[in-house]
Amino acid sequence: MVLNPFAKYCAIVAALLLTASISTGAEPKAGDVEWMRQPHPAPAIDAANTRNPTLTSQPVFPAELERLRQPHPAPAINAVNARNPAPTSLPAFAAELERLRYPHPALPINPPLALSVRVPTVDWPDSVDDLSETDQSDGSDQDTPTIDDTASADGAPPPYIVTAISSDGLILKTPVLPDLSLYNAQAARAKIVAKPVGRVGIGSMLAELSFKSFRGRAGGLREWAARQSSLPKVIFITGGYVTLHDLVRTLPKSAFEEAAKGEFIARLPINIRPGATLHIDNDVKVLRLSVDRGAFIVNEGQLFLTGTALEAWNEAEQKPAVFRDKHEFRPFLLSWGGSQTYIVASRVAHLGYAATKSYGVSISQFSPSVVRLTHRAAPTGWILDSEFYDNWYGFYCYEAEDVVIRNNIYRDNIKYGIDPHDRSRRLIIAENSAFRTKERHGIIVSREVNDSWIFDNKSYENGLSGIVIDRSSTNNIVARNQVYRNHSDGITIYESPDTLIWQNVSSGNGRHGMRVRNSTGVRLYDNIAIGNVLSGVYGHVKDLSDTDRNLRLDPFHQKVSMVIVGGQLVSNGSGPVSIDQPLSLELYDVDLRAPQRSLGIKFSGVLNVYQNKVLDILLRQRLPVVIKPATLTTSTNN
């Protein structure tokens, strides 16, 4: 027998939910909407048609099948709203799904209805299986300024030995910094391969591994369905080179539109598949990602923004989606493992919110379990000559390699300006200006971000520090930067050994010029710290066991050692140098003029006890001085 139209409709809805397969985004026809307004009799179902021979032991999706056995009133759907790409009320399809959740009068049907549908299943791993993906805090969370700035660690410090040493071991060869001339707009454009021509289509979000983390959030799937007025769909770019004009020619306006000459709006997420390239060039004045429709960009291939603009857009209010609340969805750009991202001479604004991988502009490897399935290389990219503002993070990366961030402006971003994270390597962060970050730091590298260079940047007027090296990030060079008027320190080193701080200027910061916590082998050469509220250079140890720090992810050692050679520590509020319980401190050829204190140069911490001897060796004898615990010195001599 043939099912009546309403039974057909219910079967189609259930099949879509089960197979995660949707159409290419055709808009509802007026006749279809009119039909949906009409009441329908309860379906008469032939028992012979209700069983699938291959699924007789267990019905597919029992709750949904039970729902299909019940009669339903006709759904009230606004025909205009069903066709409107930017709905102002609850979308028709989402309303229908919501209605179907409620109980209905029983309809006796025997035997129970089962659909003859085979459902493809893919047992993908959890989207977040690495705690570090969700723990994106930094060492400033464990700061207690009133304690850190004024008191030593628990327990009385051991006695110290102060001695003069030879300067031979303190000579620093000029550090070798990367050649920035290799990273420019011309070199980036030379990487574009415009053939073959790619393909554009619309498909389901539900079956895509690269979208799993966005579906898995609380209410995530329902949110995309409500915003899109359908089961969640994605614009797919595959097989070659594509521009926004190709998208306009191929897609309906409900998905993508050129609203005015050179002004484009995306109303669905865009996925650049491996092997594909999307080029947003200078023919594009702006690409706007619709907040109302839940648009964002996921790059798994190559993405080029050259001489253009990308921003989040509120269609209902016809204005940019400026930041209001960290939990409120805003579009974002995420480049996954194996991808390459090049942003050159462009403007990027109003992106991101506080959800995993949705921070703004992100370059991130997949979770460890997904990497084992995809075997994709670390993502990379160049960010050159561009401007970023009002983003949740100006820039974020995770397990990325060889990323270059050069000559950009990061201003008025919310949580961080530039924030490379977790096991990223060989990064170049140079010639950028990062300022007025509202909550935290202008530039920070955190959690095993190693073998990288941060040089010739300006970082100022940020909510906390100008530049931070954090959480076991080692073998990094911080050189020739200007950090000033930050609300906390100029340069901060948290739990990160073997860092070179060379020829930086740190002035007028709200706490210390340069601060080193729980870090050994930190070398400060030829730096200037002037006019900071507290110390020019401050070193200390701190027990972080009783904080909310995840000690498995972020271990620490209560040890600090520094070498301070050359430079000027001038007119800082609490004195030139303060250090508590150092494993060792070496000082040589440091200019200590113009103390703010009327009594002259005044050390604090351990140095206060040995100040006369330190100054005698350093200033009168003009020799290097080393301060070490007496127990360590005795043990070494023995």
Secondary structure class of 14 (helix, strand, coil): helix
Task: Name residues of the chain where pLDDT drops below 70.
Answer: 1-134, 136, 144-157, 215-220, 594-602, 632-638
Q: Who contacts 601 (Cβ-Cβ below 8 Å, separation ≥6)?
A: 575, 576, 592, 595, 611, 615
Domain parsing of the chain, residue ranges? 5-99
pLDDT of amino acid 473: 97
Q: Using an 8 Å Cβ cutoff, are 210 and 273 in contact?
A: no
CA proximity to 255, closest of 205, 290, 301, 279: 290
pLDDT of amino acid 51: 35
Tokens coding 70: 């019940």
Radius of gyration of the chain (CA): 30
Number of C-beta neighbours around residue 310 at 10 A: 25
pLDDT of amino acid 78: 39
Number of C-beta neighbours around residue 507 at 10 A: 20
Say how far apart CA 518 and CA 542 lie, in whole Å.
Answer: 7
421 is catalytic: yes
Secondary structure class of 92 (helix, strand, coil): helix
Q: pTM of this prediction?
A: 0.79
The residue type at 109: I
pLDDT of amino acid 556: 92
What's the Cα-to-Cα distance from 605 to each of 401, 520, 578, 595, rounded to whole Å? Answer: 40, 17, 5, 17
Q: What is the dihedral of CA 348, 350, 352, 353, to 10 degrees?
A: 160
Say how far apart CA 230 and CA 210 lie, in whole Å.
Answer: 20
pLDDT of amino acid 638: 41
Say how far apart CA 179 and CA 144 lie, in whole Å.
Answer: 40
What's the Cα-to-Cα distance from 179 to each of 175, 185, 430, 432, 479, rounded to whole Å? Answer: 12, 15, 11, 15, 14
Options 350, 421, 441, 540, the catalytic residue = 421
What's the Cα-to-Cα distance from 99 to each of 29, 73, 93, 617, 623, rounded to whole Å? Answer: 21, 10, 10, 83, 82
Q: Using an 8 Å Cβ cutoff, are 242 and 276 in contact?
A: yes
Say how far apart CA 322 and CA 91 lie, in whole Å.
Answer: 24
